[in-house]
Amino acid sequence: MSTPKYELEHSLTIAERDRLMEDLDRDGFIILPQTLPQWVIEETNQALDRIVADDRKFDPGRLVFSRTNIIELDPMFRWLMMYKPALQMTYDCLGPEFVLSQDKFMVKFQHNPEGPRSGAAISWHSDGPGNFPMVDGRCPLHTLRFGFTLSDSTAEECGGIDLIRGSHKFRNLHARDTLHWQPNAKSREEDFTKGLVRLRVPMGAIYAFHNGLWHSAQPNRTSITRRIVYLQYTPAWMRPHHRADPTMHDLQAYTPEERWLLCEPRRPNSWMVGDAQDHSRLARFSRDAE
Angle value at C-alpha 205, between 204 and 207, nearest 5 degrees:
140
**How high is the pLDDT of residue 137?**
76
C-alpha–C-alpha distance, residues 48 and 107, integer Å:
8
- Residue 124: pLDDT band (50, 70, 90) is confident
**How high is the pLDDT of residue 152?**
97
**How high is the pLDDT of residue 113?**
66
**pLDDT at 226 exceeding the cut of 80:** yes
Confidence (pTM): 0.92
- Please give the domain boundaries of the chain with CATH numbers for all domains: 6-289 (2.60.120.620)
- Residue 2: pLDDT band (50, 70, 90) is very low
For 253-266, what is the mean pLDDT? 92
Residue 240: cis peptide before it, omega within 30 degrees of 0? no
Mean per-residue pLDDT of the chain:
88
Cβ neighbourhood burial of 5 (10 Å; 0-12, 13-18, 19+): exposed
Please give the distance of CA 251 from its chain centroid, rounded to a whole number. 22
Encode pLDDT of 156-199 as tens digits.
Answer: 999 999 999 999 998 777 777 777 777 665 656 667 788 999 99
C-alpha–C-alpha distance, residues 12 and 263, integer Å:
25
**How high is the pLDDT of residue 3?**
47
**How high is the pLDDT of residue 183?**
64
- Residue 1: pLDDT band (50, 70, 90) is very low
C-alpha–C-alpha distance, residues 69 and 71, integer Å:
6
Q: Kindly report the number of other CB atoms within 10 A of residue 254's CB atom.
A: 19
